[in-house]
A = this chain, B = another copy of it.
Amino acid sequence: MITLTEENYIKAIYHLSSNGEKTVNTNAIASAMQTKASSVTDMIKKLSEKNYADYKKYQGVTLTSEGKRVAINIIRKHRLWEVFLVEKLNFSWDEVHEVAEHLEHIKSDKLIDELDAFLEFPTYDPHGDPIPDKEGNFKHIEKIVLAKAEVGSTYKCVGVDDTSSKFLKYLDSNHIALGTIITVKHKEPFDNSIKIALEHSEIVVSQSVAKNLYLKKI
């Protein structure tokens, strides 16, 4: 039997290894899980014994194929619940993450497959992230970060990196949502801020915003 804590570590390792390097180091996991390195060492030993991870002392950790399967399944559940919360229960996109963190651990294949069908097999969650299907397959959308977009080009907003309530509320208040059309007007070399044009307005966003907003060229 896999515990809730094990699931959360597996998910954290998956996310850390999908943005970048393949082996994940102890401190990175500790900071993602808001815990101490010594606790992480204990847990990755356990994950290794249970065959969810490959681990050699001092060398970092990678997920086994079984570990990846578990991670993707949790992500599938998380994102399906997020769609449910937004589309059926009137949650806004900045409110869903915390509740979905809990719902994602409910163990019932029938529950999640029926939920998938009830929602008509959505392929993206409310933040633009792809939802794995029952077999764990999901599309990798070709997206770039606003910080690397080119001046003069027009893009569609397709996702966010940071899903914190703060960031999402900032986007709401500036009328940026999934699907919003954005034209890059000017990049300011001094502070890396970017001037963008929306449908009815022009705004300047800071570098930290520009690094967390995903776009697709149109």
Q: Which residues of A contact B (CB under 8 A)?
A: 85, 88-91, 95, 98-99, 102-103, 106-108, 110-111, 114-115, 118
Contacts and interface: CB of A to CB of B under 8 A. Distances in A.
Nearest to A88: B118
Contacts of A114: 89-91
A117 to B, nearest CB: 8
6 contacts: A85-B111, A89-B114, A91-B114, A99-B106, A99-B110, A103-B103
A83 to B, nearest CB: 14
Contacts of A110: 89, 91, 95, 99
A213 to B, nearest CB: 27
A23 B122 CA distance: 50
B106 A102 contact: yes
Contact of A118 (B89, B95, B103, B115): B89
Nearest to A95: B110
